Structure 1
Amino acid sequence: MNGAWAAGHVVPFAVWVAVILALQAWESVGEVPRAAYPWSYALKSVACAALFLGLRPWRVYPALRLRHVPLALVAGLAVALLWILPETPWVGRVAPGFQLFYHRWLILMPGTLPGYFNPDLSPPLPPGHLALAFSPEQAGWPLTLLKLAGSAAVIAVIEEFFFRGFFYRWLRQGAFWSVPLRAFDMQAFWTVAAVFALEHDRWAAGLLAGVVYGWLAVRTGDVWTAALAHGVTNLALGVYVIVSRQYGFW
């Protein structure tokens, strides 16, 4: 039982990361067809959703408490806003120095400008940028919408079950299932937030998100509240990407 419960928290996320690493390994030995990126995202979304549903890690948690939904919605939208705002054309106009600093130092790798950011072109992406592979013009609407659905309904959930449901409590005690989610531990909290941040190229925004989702999980004792907030963030970000054509976020 305990091993299967741990697997439900870990395996879907591990498979997701494995697909990313496989693509990076492919890139290191040869050119990856552009279509491989949206297709691999769609396939890993379906595969990881199936694993999550099959392993059912939620079965020992209470259902999402309705009284936590407003807090999750507000937190998720706030994180999305703070994720997007530093890279908006508006900030580029009113605070170009800050925007340049943000891109140079608060996005991996610090000290260099990310490939999708060109101050002479911003906000449009440089022609031929890889992120445009997810646009409906290149991927087609079905794959673009699968990207949106996968980011909001799949990776957001499996990340929260891994980071907040498993990793945070496992750092406290190997028998993680015996650690109440409400039991706050400063070292474990910030370790998880830091690892979560480094999983994202926008590490500063990722750190902020990790702190918010972690606080929600500990504050409510409900991993579903954190998962809902994360899903709202990713959905809002994805809608913004499609509407504004800022595919650099993807």
Structure 2
Amino acid sequence: MPLSQAAWARIVPFALFMLLLALRGALPEQNAWGLDPRWIYGLNLLIVGGALAWFWRGYGEFARQNRPTAGEAGLSVVVGLVVFGLWISLDAPWMRLGDATAPFVPMTSAGTPDWPLIAVRWIGATLVVPVMEELFWRSFLMRWIASPQFETVDPRAAGLRALVLSTFVFMLAHTLWLAAIVAGAAYAWLYVRTGKLWCAVIAHAVTNGVLGIWVVYSGRWEFW
């Protein structure tokens, strides 16, 4: 069965993000173009953010009537903070699927923080990635596993099989596999519990935003 326009609207931004991530990993630090591969993260703001803006009207999950209540938003913030705490704790060697292919250390040649680069990375991770990933992993993939006509699936009725399988695939896309299972399951649980994708996006954004601040403060760049 061919994919619908709604499916492509959720797949394309994610695919663009993954292509840019692959380019970041493949481009050597010293290259013929004189490009700093770390600035490819800046392209996410333009390309992935631009794709999300292009398809935005097709994302019914973000319509006014689907905004979370104050209680749901508060729950989402709490979940995001809990996931952050677990993410930086579940990092033992056996909890890792190898090493990151594109380590990110935003320091200048003088050994000082490269604040413009840090800002671009943090904005992308906090504002763009949560929207893009939740649209793909939860809004599309989780519901598509329940039914190829995923637009008709109420997230509250997606079922345990869809939650588990989508979380498993989410885990494969991350180095910290156990932390990714916890995060994916938590965001999916919020989506199923509330029926609102905004809740998963808020939790994901809180996790990523606080993680970015912690990484800069602690110098634990391997978490970025």
| TM class, shorter-length | 0.7 to 0.9
SS at match of 1:182: helix
- Going from structure 1 to structure 2, the CA distance change for 1:41 and 1:33 (only over 3 Å counts) comes to farther
Question: How far apart are the structure 2 equivalents of 1:184 and 1:60?
Answer: 15
Q: Does 1:44 align with 2:66?
A: no
- Say whether the 8 Å CA contact 1:107–1:202 is kept in structure 2: yes
With over 3 angstroms needed to count, the CA separation of the structure-2 counterparts of 1:201 and 1:242, relative to structure 1, is same
Q: Read off the aligned partner of 2:96 and give its amino acid letter.
A: I
Structure 2's unaligned 5+ residue stretches are: none
Residue 72 in 1 paired to residue 46 in 2?
Answer: no
Equivalent-residue separation in structure 1 for 2:107 and 2:162 (angstroms): 38
Q: 1:106 aligns with which of 95, 102, 115?
A: 95
Q: 1:86 to 1:4 in 2, by over 3 A?
A: closer
Q: Decide whether the 8 Å contact of 1:16 with 1:44 is kept in 2.
A: yes
SS of equivalent to 2:141: helix
Give the alignment's TM-score, normalised by structure 1: 0.78
In 1, Cα distance between the equivalents of 2:177 and 2:17? 19
1:221 equivalent in alignment to 2:195: yes
Which sections of structure 1, spanning at least 5 residues, go unmatched?
Answer: 88-101, 117-128
Q: 1:3 to 1:237 in 2, by over 3 A?
A: same
- RMSD across aligned C-alpha pairs, in angstroms? 2.3
Identity %: 30
The residue aligned with 1:210 is 184
Count matched residues.
Answer: 213
Question: In terms of mean alpha carbon deviation, does 2-11 or 166-175 score higher?
Answer: 2-11
| TM-score calculated relative to the size of structure 2 | 0.86
- For the 8 Å contact 1:7–1:55, the answer to whether it is kept is no
Give the CA deviation at 1:63. Answer: 3.4
Once the two structures are superposed, residues 209-246 of structure 1 have per-residue CA deviations (whole angstroms, 9 ceiling, x without a partner) of 00000000000000110011000000010000011111
1:186 aligns with 2:160: yes
